[in-house]
Amino acid sequence: MAEKNYFIDGKIEPVFIGEQIAGHSKKHSIGAHAIFLGQVRADELDGKKVEAIEYSAYEEMANKAISKIREDAFAKWPLTCLHIYHSKGVVKVGEISLFVFVSAGHRTESMEAMQQIVEDLKHNVSIWKKEIMEDASANWVE
């Protein structure tokens, strides 16, 4: 059975996010969207700035874990839709690497679910990130 794929090669485009939002205008039971976006931050380390993050994953296991996170969220909150996209490969500073899009009838459940989902994505999914510094050296984030 083919597992659903939540990974996008490289950055997630703001235009894509706008299109995803527009795509939900036909769902008339939705009253609230909660969206979380992870953006690559120019942290400083030993006087050097981060220029990009390279994401790698155990993709098959990660996709299963994300499907589980979705199932758990639908079981816990009355959600209408839940879409998750995560970058793999190189994403530069200022670009977006994570897009969590929760839609529900009402605001409370959309925001509560989003917080839980973002925490779960951070801790329970087999993804790793390597900061690529301005001098091309690398730093694994753990």
Partner 1 sequence: MHIKILFFGSIGALTGKNEMVLDGVSGTDDLKNHLFKTWPDLKNYTFRFAVNQELIEENRALKDGDVVAIMPPFAGG
**Which residue from 97, 103, 104, 132 is in contact with partner 1, where contact means CB under 8 A?**
97
Residue from 60, 76, 108, 137 in contact with partner 1 (CB under 8 A): 60
Where is 61: in which H helix or E strand? helix 59-76
Tell me the two tokens of residue 106.
């009402």
Residue 8 interacting with its own copies (CB under 8 A)? no
Q: Which span sits near its own copies by CB under 8 A: 11-19, 55-63, 67-75, 82-90?
A: 11-19
CB 98 within 8 A of CB 18: no
137 sits near its own copies (criterion: CB under 8 A): no
The rounded distance, in Å, linking the Cα atoms of 111 and 7 is: 23
The per-residue DSSP string of 78-113 comes to -EEEEEEEEEEEEEETTSEEEEEEEEESSHHHHHHH
Answer yes or no whether residue 5 interacts with its own copies by CB under 8 A: no
Stretch that binds partner 1, among 14-22, 43-51, 75-83, 116-124 (CB under 8 A): 116-124
Residues of the chain by 3-state class (helix, strand, coil), percent to 5? 30, 40, 25
Quick one: what does residue 30 bind among partner 1, its own copies, none, with the CB cut-off 5 to 8 Å set by partner type? its own copies
Binding footprint of its own copies on the chain (CB under 8 A): 14-19, 21-22, 24-42, 93-96, 103, 105, 107, 110-111, 114-115, 118, 122
